[in-house]
Amino acid sequence: MDLSNRLLEITKFVPKGSVVADIGTDHGYIPVYLVEKEISERVIASDISPASLEKTVEYVNRMKLQDKIQTRVGDGLKVLKPAEVDTVIIAGMGGILISNILEESREVTDTIDTFILQPMVASYELRKYLTANGFKIVEESLAKEGRRLYEIIIVKRGEEIIAKDIYYEIGPRLIEKKHPLLKDFIAWKKQEVEDIIRKLEEASIERVRDRYEDMKKKIAEYEEVERKIEGS
Ligand SMILES: C[S@@+](CC[C@H](N)C(=O)[O-])C[C@H]1O[C@@H](n2cnc3c(N)ncnc32)[C@H](O)[C@@H]1O
């Protein structure tokens, strides 16, 4: 099974030899890939939805990997005992749900070495949560599928100070390393905001004035980051 760009990019950050939990695994593609490529010796694949996990159970059985991949139904990290795994993947969910999952099981969270997080939305809120709650962002990446770009945030316990509000939205490690997809990412975000501006301009009423000003400010901030990665 060939993984999508998004899932493949996630697997690149799994330390070799690690014991992994894939929370919200759904189809089970990541656990099977990690074991088949001998990146992980043992994976716990879990999902809150029994119907979703059933897909993983069938796939794992078909690949005859039951001795290496354990499946568990349950909510977030509650399926794990402290220190049972060293690496946790939480991908394909909203950033706020990801932060709730981390926060609700601090006794487990505090024993994990590496988190690989892939928020579909609300990465700003996720970075805010992480930096306010004793996590540091050690690495970040982007994956492109069609026009859409996906953020991948690798986190360990530690301290992180974010210098500017816009870096909660455009991750600091992406900027530092001038990720090859960063220009595309900013262009994509600008496009989204410009679409909103156009709609607000069409509405042209006083009620939307503040939102209009916010969106204009946002474009200026994106352009500041663009100049930063082009200039230095
Ligand atoms: C869109 S799928 C993502 C699947 C896979 N991780 C990926 O990135 O392709 C989201 C999955 O998360 C599961 N999920 C949602 N909330 C969860 C929670 N609190 N704990 C565990 N799984 C959850 C859903 O049932 C669903 O299967």
Give the ligand 1 atom nearest the CA of 76. Answer: 20
Separation between Cα atoms, residue 186 and residue 219, nearest integer Å: 10
Question: 């909660």: which residue's tokens?
Answer: 168
26, part of any domain:
yes
Going from the Cα of 26 to the center of ligand 1, the distance in angstroms, rounded, reads 6
- Same domain for 122 and 42: yes
Give 74 Cα–ligand 1 centroid separation in angstroms: 11
Task: Please report whether residue 170 resides in a domain.
Answer: no
pLDDT range class, residue 198, cuts 50, 70, 90? confident
Same domain for 134 and 207: no
User: What pTM was computed for the model?
Assistant: 0.94
CA–CA distance, 26 with 4 (Å, rounded to integer): 15
Pair 130, 200 in one domain? no
Give tens-digit pLDDT for 20-33: 999 999 999 999 99
Ligand 1 lining (C-beta closer than 6 Å): 23-26, 47-49, 52, 75-76, 91-93, 97, 101
Tokens encoding 109: 């969270």
Q: Which residue has the CA at smallest separation from atom 25 of ligand 1?
A: 49
Q: Is residue 168 part of a domain?
A: no
Judgement on whether residues 113 and 203 belong to the same structural domain of the protein: no
Bridge partners (DSSP) of residue 19 are: 42
Same domain, 198 and 149: no
Number of domains in the chain: 2
Helix (H, G, I), strand (E, B) or coil at 72: strand
Nearest to 221 by CA among 186, 181, 175: 186
Dist. CA 176–CA 140, nearest whole Å: 10
pLDDT beyond 80 at 232: no
Mean pLDDT within 44-57: 98
Q: Are 103 and 19 part of one and the same domain?
A: yes
One domain for residues 118 and 224: no
Do 151 and 205 lie in a common domain? Answer: no
Pocket test for ligand 1, best of 49, 79, 109, 115 (most atoms within 8 A of CB): 49
The CATH number covering residue 77 comes to 3.40.50.150
Domain boundary among 161, 191, 209: 161
Pocket test for ligand 1, best of 13, 47, 115, 153 (most atoms within 8 A of CB): 47
**Which residue from 182, 159, 187 is spatially nearest to 171, judged by alpha carbons?**
182
| pLDDT 10s digits, 54-98 | 999 999 999 999 999 999 999 999 999 999 999 999 999 999 999
On whether both 103 and 188 belong to a single domain, the answer is no
Q: Whose CA is nearest to atom 24 of ligand 1?
A: 24
Residue 171 lies in a domain: no
Atom of ligand 1 nearest to the CA of 90: 6
Is residue 91 in some structural domain?
A: yes
Please name the residue whose Cα sits nearest to atom 12 of ligand 1.
Answer: 24
Instruction: Say whether both 148 and 54 belong to one domain.
Output: yes
Place of tokens 């220190």: 83
Q: Which domain holds residue 110?
A: 5-161
